[in-house]
Structure 1
């Protein structure tokens, strides 16, 4: 795999550095991405996009909060098709009635406002979108980070709920025109290599260096034609883990066939770059060089070939233990070396599931590998979740299920749970191999604070099946002697959905009463931004990256996603259990906090007389510091929970994704950036140098957990688009420090939202 250091032209079907007489800026307009984005841009400015999407999608741990936000802001009708799927809180067995209460809320809202409601176990959100919503040249916005339908010619973006609420209110998705990276494919995969193998190889190459961060990945080249639609989809959905903004692929007869199979051939259109298209960068990948991969804990980018792991097993596991130290410190003694038996790595569980693994071809390939074999009667077990009921039906008809069940696998219905810790939680100390999307810490359901720790490694369904056939010992699918696959043909039965899915056809029924459950709560009131703010630092995180799973855990907390106050009690519970108490003390102005504020006020006024009288009038809020927060899920709750607990800002060296930063803004929090002078994680802000930092602590920060930070003129900085502001820290020992904070670019509406206190306040006026 080769990453170009400079931009590239796609000319005559090949990547070249330059084309005589061709201007890169003009030729950048010839990409597929540019064409689709500008077609949906309403701003009139090709560099500052205001996007209106064709359709939007949510699932049952996001749609309640989104609709509640929109209702509080004046929602009357869904203006575009809005699909509400029920694939995350499908198991209505935890927390009493509250999961099914959410589902009834979703159904009645679909009826009242004119939406589409997909009942539990019918389909995971992205499979339904592929089967029923995708259309070449369209754009779809979803409240799940893996909203990716580029292989089908649909540019899709996963964002936090606030961005969907804007679409429901007829507003736009505002973003600068993103860079576009060509992913130039050649060759064909060898038998036994699947889409997850290709995806993990790409993620490994581009995640750490940020090569595609907030850009669009455009898949082109002769190798595209050598991949089936399902194979492309399996790569495409994992592009989220690269931190790109979105993806798009050139389309061909195989994609036409996909639409035809699903009864929607009219939604197909051939998409190709124009002549001499210019890209901001390029990734060259020979598919024939990819070998079965495994991403070891605790990130999809921690990827190796299975051959490499088996050859250098103890060294690779040592690297994994060192990474775990960064996430867990001394809280747990993490090891996988105890999984080595007779020089081989033993795994306890295999799962093929969700939007990445549950596709028709993945499961058929797994069934082919396991046909006539068995998984054994030891600890190892294999669970398989088809991504939709139509896929389930076809696997039942063509015999794939019979091969799987005969081998000892357990077949279940469409459910996203194994991907985020709400299903198939392994035993303490166990290792699970999964064809799913993520393997972050705690992702499979561990509770570190209770001494429970399991871990997930990502693999392709084919090698999971090969490992299952080898009774749990890590095995690459290419190692099997008989690499033959049946290549069964898929037949889609749309009547399955017609019998169960509620589709309003865009007709609203205002007379329908929304059905609420006792756990569904309104958002609490948020205060507007004051002229000056006083922040107490209530958590300090120095991990290189902090995931949204660590900011607000998934799994068992999902049942509280409809209850802002209830969910907030789980904020940072697996990373910093004391956070909630500290934040609430600031929000509620406890006696201890009052005394601390009085002390900080006195110290600052003595040193800076010009602040006399201002600090006592400043808005009081909490903040956290994290090096690079927000990798992973689009869930807005990673931000809204902080806001509910009284947060006014985040301070970071960088933000891992646009999604998380947008969520902070939509909930009225300032996304401060602090340039650490000596830190390798520093953000280079040329317009605001940060040279005023002084008296740094050993952490490289001028402040620490428990300190207070006064930010005079915070509102002026936001309103007048100033590059930054000087802040003043008061430490526990009474010393002070001055330093600079910036925010980076924000749109005019984003600045107004922060000043208003949150998105709801902004739209409600």
Structure 2
């Protein structure tokens, strides 16, 4: 059972909940035995205390955060370091870990991904960082084992940067925010709201952390209950969860669109740090006698049943029991939702054909990554599969331990041998199944995965090529139960298994022998290794007084993911090549986008070169002719670019390329009803793009030109409403809005991007 409180709530002595709808200061004070004000109680959250320690400003409403540590993987660190180098980087000012868990599979017929790895190693040597070679650990497992510390803050360039269960407030952001930290700048945000997550009771046998996480996501995603807030896990139920279990819930908080997470810590967490030879990094985090939360999620763990998140979102949740009981009705409902999301009538999407003998047949099971590849998940899965076999039909099962230390312990205690005996295959630490670079299903395949996301095409299929496959998210235990029944969807509650719970013994020798640790030892004489696929950013122009935009894509989906803006999977090999990667922008959603954007960009390139824009793009020149029937606007002084409209863009990954690819193709703005995440909006800003808001019926269509008047003045003078005009004979007027921007963000937009901003700062 999950209950969302309509407003906020007070927690007294860590256990008593007082609903704000029923509370008064007098009531809370009387129960507490002393005077209590809501504003004071709100400062008693764990989150407030940690943010206060890391805030460098004198204003807790306007935070300027400096993080203790940074972490990135190999489809983000090249761009981050290249941007930082262009902005004046000399050495890493804080510990920075470069893991290699995304581009671990080298491109066929080339060395492009391994070139990125060698670049990373040379950077770790030159600037004083840590380099984790491919297949050693997925980014978040290494951070748990080596980086996390109680009361600390970590910033990572992966959206699932979440170490709250270990007492670490971690945030996943786009690369430019890490660039700021590398240049000793700050992470600037308003004080976020804090939502308590009160856990009580004990999970049922067979229910795993993914089940709890999916139930919570299903309750809060659509209503935005925790959007850009911190989720603070409290309650007596925490003591009933192992640390591995807590980690499994915690990592999935990203899918709620929260900003970060933090948990109470106890002796079990202390034991975790002791196991990992870092007892000094443990810090006990406990609640004060009264705490106020901006919202409260009450979770009775005992009431949560095995769950499944059907295509194509982690919030599209059902209990497995419910799905099996109402199979055809739910599959029909899912099919209808999917066709709205695909917006492509040429694709035949069907799940009902997966029903065999009135049961749902699954083609593939995967237990992997930062969510599924934990020690306890894999051990429990092996116990469910003990003395069983997955069969010789279509169904397959792949297991990816999240790190080599976990893998080695599973080998030592016999778990790997037991799994292999069932027919499962064991892989190394690799994030591929989460983003379409590993275990890609066949066309029309249905895969159940204990991974993080199941967005459209994230598993590797390409709608534009007529391919489609489905991923449903489940816990490792129910995936094992399904495997035990040779691919027929089965809840772990329906399998009678003895969970042996073997103790985990961490051995650091693998890391001691293979991980390069250059902390505090930068070698400025080291030459960076550049492969041919590592390309510098192109020159980017600054903002002009007015801008002319062509609408080149209009997306009416309720939510647009970063995977749809810039696909994962096969594009990974191009992550270090801004122009090469940009060719894939919106390729799975609107394949004509790149061509349209490039046509507009021809006019801008001509303008910057001082050439006649009419020769480059006659359509743009005609748009200026119409504009000049009402305004006197000189083309040579007016930036020309493209524009994407989406209802709610930016759900999912933190990858900055969702914005930077638009920018290198000449994108200057997005218009949206709202932005799904702070990190996507930040990525737009850091690449000099305007994050406009517009919530009414659209006055423009795809292909229209828009004049935005006095935009530079609006940015400088903090004007939030800006006049815009659809370029027609009538020059139809409408108003665009801008949410709050910091002074630095305003200057970044004026300069054209973060690189220009820092380059100019360094020249002053």
Shorter-chain TM-score above 0.5: yes
Q: Offset at 1:601?
A: 2.4
Match of 2:4 in 1: 3
CA contact (8 A) 1:95 1:559 kept: no
Q: Offset at 1:399?
A: 1.1
* Structure-to-structure mapping, 1:380-459, within 5 angstroms: 380-459=395-474
For residues 402 and 763 of structure 1, the distance between their equivalents in structure 2, rounded to whole angstroms, comes to 54
* Structure-to-structure mapping, 1:476-495, within 5 angstroms: 476-480=491-495, 482-495=496-509
Residue 508 (1) aligns with residue 505 (2): no
Q: Offset at 1:448?
A: 0.7
Q: Offset at 1:6?
A: 1.0
Q: Offset at 1:613?
A: 3.3
CA contact (8 A) 1:57 1:142 kept: yes
CA contact (8 A) 1:541 1:626 kept: yes
CA contact (8 A) 2:138 2:429 kept: yes
Q: Offset at 1:591?
A: 5.4
Q: Offset at 1:592?
A: 8.0
User: What do residues 256-308 of structure 1 show as CA deviations (whole Å, max 9, x unaligned)?
Assistant: 01000001111111101222111000000000000000000000000100000
Match of 2:650 in 1: 630
Match of 2:480 in 1: 465
Q: Which residue, 347, 371, 376 being the options, matches 1:356?
A: 371
For residues 596 and 657 of structure 1, the distance between their equivalents in structure 2, rounded to whole angstroms, comes to 35
Residue 157 (1) aligns with residue 171 (2): yes
Match of 1:683 in 2: none
For residues 507 and 299 of structure 1, the distance between their equivalents in structure 2, rounded to whole angstroms, comes to 44
CA contact (8 A) 1:431 1:456 kept: yes
Residue 603 (1) aligns with residue 600 (2): no
For 1:738, what is the secondary structure of its paired residue?
Answer: strand
Q: Offset at 1:593?
A: 6.7
Match of 2:694 in 1: 674
Match of 1:366 in 2: 381
Could you tell which deviates more after superposition, 281-290 or 16-25?
16-25
For residues 500 and 255 of structure 1, the distance between their equivalents in structure 2, rounded to whole angstroms, comes to 27
TM-score (norm 2): 0.95
Q: Which residue, 734, 741, 756 being the options, matches 1:739?
A: 734
CA contact (8 A) 2:602 2:617 kept: no
Q: Which residue, 211, 214, 219 being the options, matches 1:200?
A: 214
Q: Offset at 1:333?
A: 1.5
Q: Offset at 1:147?
A: 0.1
Match of 1:68 in 2: 82
Residue 592 to residue 438, structure 1, CA distance change in 2 (3 Å):
farther
For residues 112 and 274 of structure 1, the distance between their equivalents in structure 2, rounded to whole angstroms, comes to 45
Q: Offset at 1:730?
A: 1.8
CA contact (8 A) 1:532 1:615 kept: no
Match of 1:693 in 2: none
For residues 319 and 288 of structure 2, the distance between their equivalents in structure 1, rounded to whole angstroms, comes to 36
CA contact (8 A) 1:213 1:243 kept: yes
Q: Which runs of 5+ in 1 are unaligned?
A: 677-699
CA contact (8 A) 1:191 1:483 kept: no
Match of 1:307 in 2: 321
CA contact (8 A) 2:708 2:724 kept: yes
* Structure-to-structure mapping, 1:613-652, within 5 angstroms: 613-614=633-634, 617-652=637-672
Match of 1:517 in 2: 531
Match of 1:752 in 2: 747
For residues 419 and 575 of structure 1, the distance between their equivalents in structure 2, rounded to whole angstroms, comes to 19
Q: Which residue, 521, 530, 547 being the options, matches 1:533?
A: 547
For residues 115 and 173 of structure 2, the distance between their equivalents in structure 1, rounded to whole angstroms, comes to 24
TM-score (norm 1): 0.95
CA contact (8 A) 2:659 2:687 kept: yes
Q: Offset at 1:93?
A: 3.7
Could you tell which deviates more after superposition, 31-40 or 91-100?
91-100
CA contact (8 A) 1:298 1:439 kept: yes
Match of 2:96 in 1: 82
Q: Which residue, 283, 286, 300 being the options, matches 1:272?
A: 286
Match of 2:702 in 1: 705
For 1:405, what is the secondary structure of its paired residue?
Answer: helix
User: What do residues 87-135 of structure 1 show as CA deviations (whole Å, max 9, x unaligned)?
Assistant: 0000114361100000000000000000000000000000000000000
User: What do residues 306-361 of structure 1 show as CA deviations (whole Å, max 9, x unaligned)?
Assistant: 00000000111111111111121213121100000111000000000000000000
CA contact (8 A) 1:432 1:457 kept: yes
Number of equivalences: 736
CA contact (8 A) 1:141 1:159 kept: yes
CA contact (8 A) 2:614 2:621 kept: no
Match of 1:375 in 2: 390
> What root-mean-square deviation, in Å, do the aligned CA atoms of Structure 1 and Structure 2 show?
1.0
User: What do residues 243-266 of structure 1 show as CA deviations (whole Å, max 9, x unaligned)?
Assistant: 000000000011001000001111
Match of 1:246 in 2: 260
Q: Which runs of 5+ in 2 are unaligned?
A: 30-34, 604-612
Residue 43 (1) aligns with residue 57 (2): yes
Q: Which residue, 352, 359, 368 being the options, matches 1:344?
A: 359
CA contact (8 A) 1:345 1:474 kept: yes
Match of 1:686 in 2: none
* Structure-to-structure mapping, 1:91-102, within 5 angstroms: 91-94=105-108, 96-102=110-116
User: What do residues 551-573 of structure 1 show as CA deviations (whole Å, max 9, x unaligned)?
Assistant: 00000001100000000000000
For residues 560 and 251 of structure 2, the distance between their equivalents in structure 1, rounded to whole angstroms, comes to 22
Match of 1:16 in 2: 18
Match of 1:682 in 2: none
Could you tell which deviates more after superposition, 243-252 or 15-24?
15-24
| Stretches (4+) displaced over 6 A | none
For 1:390, what is the secondary structure of its paired residue?
Answer: helix
For residues 79 and 73 of structure 1, the distance between their equivalents in structure 2, rounded to whole angstroms, comes to 14
User: What do residues 708-746 of structure 1 show as CA deviations (whole Å, max 9, x unaligned)?
Assistant: 000110011111100110100025xx5532110011011
For residues 505 and 613 of structure 1, the distance between their equivalents in structure 2, rounded to whole angstroms, comes to 54
For residues 593 and 683 of structure 2, the distance between their equivalents in structure 1, rounded to whole angstroms, comes to 20
For residues 550 and 644 of structure 1, the distance between their equivalents in structure 2, rounded to whole angstroms, comes to 17
Match of 1:119 in 2: 133
For residues 533 and 154 of structure 1, the distance between their equivalents in structure 2, rounded to whole angstroms, comes to 43
Could you tell which deviates more after superposition, 136-145 or 617-626?
617-626
CA contact (8 A) 1:615 1:710 kept: no
For 1:30, what is the secondary structure of its paired residue?
Answer: coil
Q: Which residue, 329, 333, 338 being the options, matches 1:324?
A: 338
For 2:718, what is the secondary structure of its paired residue?
Answer: coil
For residues 507 and 719 of structure 1, the distance between their equivalents in structure 2, rounded to whole angstroms, comes to 42
* Structure-to-structure mapping, 1:156-195, within 5 angstroms: 156-195=170-209
For residues 585 and 35 of structure 1, the distance between their equivalents in structure 2, rounded to whole angstroms, comes to 51
For residues 60 and 633 of structure 2, the distance between their equivalents in structure 1, rounded to whole angstroms, comes to 47
CA contact (8 A) 2:67 2:154 kept: yes
CA contact (8 A) 1:728 1:739 kept: yes
Q: Offset at 1:437?
A: 0.1
Q: Offset at 1:596?
A: 2.0
User: What do residues 363-389 of structure 1 show as CA deviations (whole Å, max 9, x unaligned)?
Assistant: 000000001000000000000000000
Q: Offset at 1:615?
A: 5.4
Residue 573 (1) aligns with residue 570 (2): no
For residues 195 and 331 of structure 1, the distance between their equivalents in structure 2, rounded to whole angstroms, comes to 38
Q: Offset at 1:616?
A: 5.6
Q: Which residue, 729, 754, 757 being the options, matches 1:762?
A: 757
